[in-house]
Amino acid sequence: MTQTENSAPQPLPEDWSRALAVVAHPDDLEFGASSAIARWTGQGKHVTELLVTKGEAGIDSLPPEECAPVRMAEQRASAATVGVTTVEFLDFPDGTLEYGLPLRRALAEAIRRHRPEVVVSINFRENFGDMRFFNHADHRVLGPALLDAVRDAANRWVFPEQLTDGLEPWSQVRFVAFGSSPRATHYVELGEEHLAAGVASLADHAVYLSNLDGFDQESFLPQAAAQAGAWAGVPLATGFEVFDG
């Protein structure tokens, strides 16, 4: 599956049955990847969502202790909209996520426990294509930690204290796919129904979106899907930067 970023885009393989989607915040998956998740759950695949934070620092008008329950509830509703029934939250601090052993350890444990064939996340590069804003610090931290954790999960001598009660190393992650990356190598073709589910899943973050000034949630995903489709040579798509597991 090895590709360079200058290669022609390739369809993301779908001959797998179990994925773990790992992102920093509620709403991260909904800016593109959830449309692909809707396609996959429609195929009968099992997708679990793992949120590293509870998004408690994401709404200026709500203090963290009030914000976290709101954003967790919105994420559960959003996941259900695209066919995901299992949503888990870690307890790392929103906005100040740090690369290090605690994060790698928690991610490796989740990978060993859920035993995914595929891991999905979102862009950890410095920006999003031609957009000029700097990517969120938590996103930039999580990507490298997640790639390292995939390797950690496979090595029984890394975090060996986890290997109790039947938990074993897991070396069967085939690839890690990062949505919305400016270095996308692969694409998932979307039907209108997948895109509609993705739009609805984003809309489930109603409180969060109501605090974003000037964001047009109705047009964002359709425009992005059409642009990715033009890149991929299909009507609608979403792109992923892919690393071998």
What average pLDDT does this structure show over 6-11?
Answer: 85
What residue type is 147 in one-letter code? L
DSSP state of 134: P
Say if CB 225 and CB 23 are below 8 A apart.
no
DSSP state of 1: -
pLDDT value at 217 more than 90: no
pLDDT value at 49 more than 80: yes
d(CA 26, CA 71): 6
**pLDDT value of residue 1:** 42
10-244, superfamily in CATH?
A: LmbE-like (3.40.50.10320)
Q: Encode pLDDT of 152-188 as tens digits.
A: 999 999 999 999 999 999 999 999 999 999 999 999 9
pLDDT value at 57 more than 80: yes
d(CA 112, CA 149): 10
| Range scoring the smallest mean pLDDT among 11-20, 135-144, 206-215 | 206-215
Q: Encode pLDDT of 103-137 as tens digits.
A: 999 999 999 999 999 999 999 999 987 667 889 99
**pLDDT value of residue 4:** 45
**For residue 239, what are the CA distances in angstroms to 36, 182, 232?**
9, 9, 8
Model pTM?
A: 0.95
| Range scoring the smallest mean pLDDT among 1-10, 34-43, 77-86, 140-149 | 1-10
End-to-end Cα separation, the chain, in angstroms? 10
**pLDDT value of residue 3:** 42
